[in-house]
A = this chain, B = another copy of it.
Amino acid sequence: MLEPLYLNLGQHDALSEEEKGLLAGAMTIELDFATGQDIVSEGSRPGYSTLIIEGLAARYKVLEDGGRQFTSLQVPGDFVDLHAFLLKTMDHGIIALSPCRVVAADHSRLRAITEQAPHLTRLLWLDTLVDGAIHREWIVAMGRRSKTSHLAHLVCELFVRLQVVKQTNGMSFRLPLSQAELADVLGLSIVHMNRVIGALRRLGVIGWSNYIVTILDWQQLVEIAEFDPTYLSMNREPR
């Protein structure tokens, strides 16, 4: 059940059986969300933190003019609101972009982990730090990359992240996002989003249909994206 979490945390440093047990003991709540439902809503003060077991979710904010911006995409094994454990008040919402199966840990249990299990605490902290590193990479992409490069970078990132939690299939993965939703990731209009996808398709580096993305030329995709996975900290070392 918690396999995706173990894969996610375990990519950075070895997880002991004891630590796995602590996590399993903490994740007591089990929930399902339908596509489009809020897993956590902006302004709320959740008493537990939620982990995705299956499905795709996203953090988002909505502006007064109705514009929406996703600030992250969350895949199986990701703690979507681990930060709420200490930030307390949600400054953004989290929406299920596909049917999501999640488990959650009461904050009192997380607190107990920080009191008794320093190494596991550091791994949870690290998980939020990788989150931050991904945010920084998105800022760079939005500010200084061409739109084509930005999209290519996103595809690279998702492929690598999904591979860690065994959610890829060869060079393909499922990305249940409409082009309108993707536009809210990249900060583009729907029409232009469509043209950017078309550009990458015409170059023959990716295929994209029925919510399945296929990487046809990884080498070229990485070049277009200037993708360097360092920021994902995917090497195992003592933390």
Nearest B residue to A114 via CB reads B118
Chain B residues with Cβ under 8 A from A63's Cβ? 140, 144-145, 226
Query: Is there an interface contact between A144 and B86, defined as CB atoms closer than 8 Å?
Result: no
Q: Tell me the count of chain A residues lying within 8 A, CB to CB, of chain B.
A: 50
A123-164 at interface with B (beta carbon < 8 Å): 125-126, 128-133, 135-140, 142-145
Asked if A91 is at the interface (CB within 8 A of a chain B CB), the reply is yes
Chain B residues near A122: list those with CB within 8 A: 86, 114
Interface of A is mostly: helix
A17 at the interface (CB under 8 A from B): no
> For A109, what are the chain B residues with a Cβ–Cβ distance below 8 Å?
none
Binary interface encoding of chain A residues 170-191 relative to chain B, with 1 for a CB under 8 A from any of its CBs, else 0: 0000000000000010110000
Q: Which residues of A contact B (CB under 8 A)?
A: 43, 59, 61, 63-64, 67-69, 71-72, 83, 86-89, 91-92, 114-115, 118, 121-122, 125-126, 128-133, 135-140, 142-145, 184, 186-187, 226, 228, 230-231, 233, 237, 239
Q: Beyond A71-B135, A121-B125, list 6 extra A-B contacts (CB 8 Å).
A: A64-B226, A71-B139, A86-B125, A92-B231, A128-B132, A138-B139
Closest 9 CB pairs of A and B: A143-B187, A135-B135, A91-B231, A71-B136, A142-B142, A67-B144, A132-B132, A69-B143, A69-B144
